[in-house]
Chain A
């Protein structure tokens, strides 16, 4: 051990009469957080980097599980150091770290593309804009439930394997032989292996799920019912705002109106009632399958 310390240095005394466990894990935690003589500095940099990666899609060190000679050098070493120091000085409070990052100018940049800057830094490693990023599996599903009005916000308690459950995706129980298909499609990692960074793929089975899965259809239907509860003149704006948090240009609005009319007619002809709910369901399904819904910018 460094500085001549032996592991006993971090040993946590057991409570009086305690025999069940050795308290070695408590010692490990002490060592991990010890910035003077333990692994604290590295631990702070690693967690800062992982949270940064979570917000930007790429860490300051692009190899989150490898800060060694095989890893990538940091793109902004001073920033990493500053954030790590701030974290330690403020009691390792992650909420403060999230807030610092998310209220920063760099996080709040637009995603606007600039060919001149791109020609210098095609991959945006220097963060000259906010690279649009696909949501991970959990927030995709959670956001769908939220706009559908079907999200059950109950917290705590045991998870479930039921793919039709309506609580946040964090309440999926993870059973290795029975992973949730919708989550796996959007790059939920194999739970047998530790993964520092998830893949972000764009494949047809994701599209099939968005188009055809009973869940997505159900969410779209719930969303449509919410929209139809609004006064007629406000429905479109309400739908776009709920799904995309913005209202698109006139051209797209016009297109949406035309679709709703024509699709309702088609549904009428196909015998799906007066076609209004069906057309709105189709429209809402398109809204929550579209890139503005799936990508953060």
Chain B
């Protein structure tokens, strides 16, 4: 509530106060929504953010009780092959070596990226075995994650609108295949604010092994037309993790504090001279917050004080996965400290630098699964042990799937497949050990209970207590949503 009653007078359009004054009765909610809309309309007329500009990260009430408070999205960058990971397709044994046209005479070869390298149908090079109590068939490349299938809800019938990395990344992150729209993390922090005022509300981590950024770069964690404060803060893989976090050397120790005391006094004089301007009061607070961030942010991302057992759990120190283990552990520390949304990209750019297994699908996926399997499993277990999994939604998902046919090369690979992908969700109000939707017999196309990305986004928002049709921002003459004009919550995977 900090900032909302500054100068001793309540700001009219505070949803939380409405809720409190209305006794939080459920019957009021609809009315409150209307009032909020009206007040927000008026507020937006003055500024795109209205009074929220004073503290845009102040926690906001949800539309209905939330199951999840935080999100950790493991972005399987490059496009994981569903038939080699979670979508077991025994029929591919039967079709192995045959043309996809035998399976589907109408196949038009309009899917993949490399149209001159379309091979025959190819079974997975990996063995699958039943795991967990639910008996989910899991690829051998996930020995650790296989332990946690009873926590996961699998979606096997996802599909997207582009077969090219950047547009597909934008689609998965923003719901639109073009750049310029706010991503899920931006919408969520816009809708809910953050519980941490000392740390950024939305944090993004990318590959620290020098393999580059995901295609489309920062547009993937952009705030689009939402105010820029809601864009993801990119934790830099090397050097200062957050820009401008470290004071100039000559201002070390008490010197900067003395300077800030002077500055605070200057700002207080100004605020006293011009009463009634809450922005001036917020400005004073922003420097204090920044000063606290200088200490809070390095502390949050420092994993050295974690126990040896925790390090081992995540795989810190194991050469193949040390980098990702550290990022997963940082993610837990961040959400523990109130950060709303964390996204970690596995892999860098395309081809061999990420899960983009055009060449040698076996080597590629074994490598990237090896980089992430134990760290993500460790994260799930650690969250569960600390009672954080109930309130933290963990997402495993890339931008598209891969084709069941081989991509011809020295070692066979697989090309992009926008018609089908698998994602899983765990924790935060998700029912564990279930599989929703089905791809066709060979995993070429999502067939049963098809899940559009709008549906996936609607479900994520729902778990966070947000009605996806009511989280809107007016831009270019109309109210925009993360789910645009679509989106259906997948009830079957809710706990």
Asked if B287 and A211 sit within 8 Å, CB to CB, the answer is yes
Interface: B48 (CB within 8 A): yes
CB under 8 Å from chain A, chain B span 24-51: 45-49
CB distance from A77 to the nearest CB of B (A): 15
Candidates B54, B217, B244; contact of A208 at CB < 8 Å:
B244
Which residues on A sit within 8 Å (CB–CB) of B57?
203
Instruction: Pick out which of these stretches binds chain B: A32-40, A88-96, A285-293.
Output: A285-293
A199 CA to B473 CA in the complex, in Å? Answer: 13
Asked if A176 and B252 sit within 8 Å, CB to CB, the answer is no
Interface: A144 (CB within 8 A): no
Asked if A132 and B222 sit within 8 Å, CB to CB, the answer is no
Asked if B267 and A259 sit within 8 Å, CB to CB, the answer is no
CB under 8 Å from chain B, chain A span 204-237: 204-214, 217
**Binary per-residue interface labels of chain A (236-252) against chain B in the complex, 1 for a CB within 8 Å, 0 otherwise:** 00000000000011001
Which residue in chain A gives the minimum CB-CB distance to B270? A291
Which residues on A sit within 8 Å (CB–CB) of B319?
none
Of listed A63, A193, A198, A207, residue having the most chain B CB within 10 A: A207
Which residues on A sit within 8 Å (CB–CB) of B265?
252, 255
CB distance from A118 to the nearest CB of B (A): 6
A283 CA to B263 CA in the complex, in Å? Answer: 9
Asked if B293 and A123 sit within 8 Å, CB to CB, the answer is no
A202 CA to B80 CA in the complex, in Å? Answer: 40
Asked if A202 and B53 sit within 8 Å, CB to CB, the answer is yes
A111 CA to B54 CA in the complex, in Å? Answer: 19
Interface: A120 (CB within 8 A): no
A286 CA to B250 CA in the complex, in Å? Answer: 15
Which residues on A sit within 8 Å (CB–CB) of B267?
290-291
Interface: B409 (CB within 8 A): no
CB distance from B279 to the nearest CB of A (A): 6
Which residues on B sit within 8 Å (CB–CB) of A292?
266, 270
Which residue in chain B gives the minimum CB-CB distance to A287? B266
Interface: A58 (CB within 8 A): yes
A28 CA to B26 CA in the complex, in Å? Answer: 54
Instruction: Pick out which of these stretches binds chain B: A42-50, A97-105, A266-274.
Output: A266-274
CB distance from B244 to the nearest CB of A (A): 4
Which residues on A sit within 8 Å (CB–CB) of B223?
190
A63 CA to B46 CA in the complex, in Å? Answer: 8
Asked if B279 and A248 sit within 8 Å, CB to CB, the answer is no
Of listed A66, A201, A266, A285, residue having the most chain B CB within 10 A: A201
Asked if A181 and B476 sit within 8 Å, CB to CB, the answer is no
Q: A190-B228, A204-B286 are in contact. Are A283 and B250 (CB under 8 A)?
A: no
Interface: B135 (CB within 8 A): no
Asked if B244 and A213 sit within 8 Å, CB to CB, the answer is yes
Asked if A208 and B53 sit within 8 Å, CB to CB, the answer is no
The number of chain B residues touching the other chain, given as a range, is: 35 or more
Q: A188-B228, A267-B255, A282-B251 are in contact. Are A176 and B219 (CB under 8 A)?
A: yes
Q: A123-B46, A187-B228 are in contact. Are A263 and B255 (CB under 8 A)?
A: yes
Interface: B243 (CB within 8 A): yes
A63 CA to B478 CA in the complex, in Å? Answer: 12
CB under 8 Å from chain B, chain A span 71-126: 72, 111-113, 115, 118, 123
On chain A, the number of residues with a Cβ less than 8 Å from chain B's Cβ atoms is 75
Interface: A184 (CB within 8 A): yes
Asked if A266 and B289 sit within 8 Å, CB to CB, the answer is no
Candidates A111, A204, A267; contact of B274 at CB < 8 Å:
A111
Which residues on A sit within 8 Å (CB–CB) of B56?
201, 203
Asked if B290 and A207 sit within 8 Å, CB to CB, the answer is yes
Asked if B247 and A211 sit within 8 Å, CB to CB, the answer is yes
A170 CA to B248 CA in the complex, in Å? Answer: 28
CB under 8 Å from chain B, chain A span 128-185: 131-132, 134, 176-177, 179, 181, 184-185
Asked if A294 and B219 sit within 8 Å, CB to CB, the answer is no
Asked if A193 and B180 sit within 8 Å, CB to CB, the answer is yes
A118 CA to B278 CA in the complex, in Å? Answer: 13
A203 CA to B262 CA in the complex, in Å? Answer: 19
CB under 8 Å from chain A, chain B span 322-336: none
Which residues on B sit within 8 Å (CB–CB) of A70?
477-478
Which residues on A sit within 8 Å (CB–CB) of B287?
204, 207, 210-211, 289
Interface: B280 (CB within 8 A): yes
CB distance from B48 to the nearest CB of A (A): 5
CB distance from A271 to the nearest CB of B (A): 9
Interface: B283 (CB within 8 A): yes
Which residues on B sit within 8 Å (CB–CB) of A195?
225
Interface: B5 (CB within 8 A): no
Candidates A63, A181, A199; contact of B227 at CB < 8 Å:
A199
Which residue in chain A gives the minimum CB-CB distance to B265? A255
Interface: A197 (CB within 8 A): yes
**Binary per-residue interface labels of chain B (200-239) against chain A in the complex, 1 for a CB within 8 Å, 0 otherwise:** 1000000000000000011100111101110001000000
Interface: A295 (CB within 8 A): yes
CB distance from A202 to the nearest CB of B (A): 4
Candidates B54, B242, B275; contact of A202 at CB < 8 Å:
B54
Asked if A290 and B49 sit within 8 Å, CB to CB, the answer is no
Candidates B46, B250, B478; contact of A267 at CB < 8 Å:
B250
Asked if A266 and B224 sit within 8 Å, CB to CB, the answer is no
Which residues on B sit within 8 Å (CB–CB) of A118?
276
Which residues on B sit within 8 Å (CB–CB) of A131?
277
Asked if A209 and B244 sit within 8 Å, CB to CB, the answer is yes
Interface: B282 (CB within 8 A): yes
Q: A286-B266, A290-B263 are in contact. Are A190 and B217 (CB under 8 A)?
A: no
A287 CA to B286 CA in the complex, in Å? Answer: 16
Which residue in chain A gives the minimum CB-CB distance to B223? A190
Asked if B282 and A202 sit within 8 Å, CB to CB, the answer is yes
Candidates A68, A211, A267; contact of B244 at CB < 8 Å:
A211
Asked if B269 and A285 sit within 8 Å, CB to CB, the answer is no
Q: List 15 A-B contacts (CB under 8 A).
A: A132-B280, A190-B222, A190-B223, A194-B476, A198-B48, A202-B283, A205-B243, A205-B290, A208-B242, A208-B290, A211-B256, A270-B250, A282-B262, A283-B259, A294-B283
Q: Could you list which residues of chain A lie within 8 angstroms of chain B, going by C-beta atoms? A: 58, 62-63, 65-66, 68, 70, 72, 111-113, 115, 118, 123, 131-132, 134, 176-177, 179, 181, 184-185, 187-190, 192-195, 197-214, 217, 248-249, 252, 255-256, 259, 262-263, 266-267, 270, 272, 278, 282-283, 285-287, 289-292, 294-295, 297
- Cβ-closest 5 pairs across A and B: A192-B180, A207-B290, A199-B227, A62-B45, A204-B289
Additional A-B contact list (6), CB under 8 Å, known A132-B279, A192-B179, A208-B244: A72-B45, A206-B286, A211-B291, A270-B253, A282-B262, A286-B263
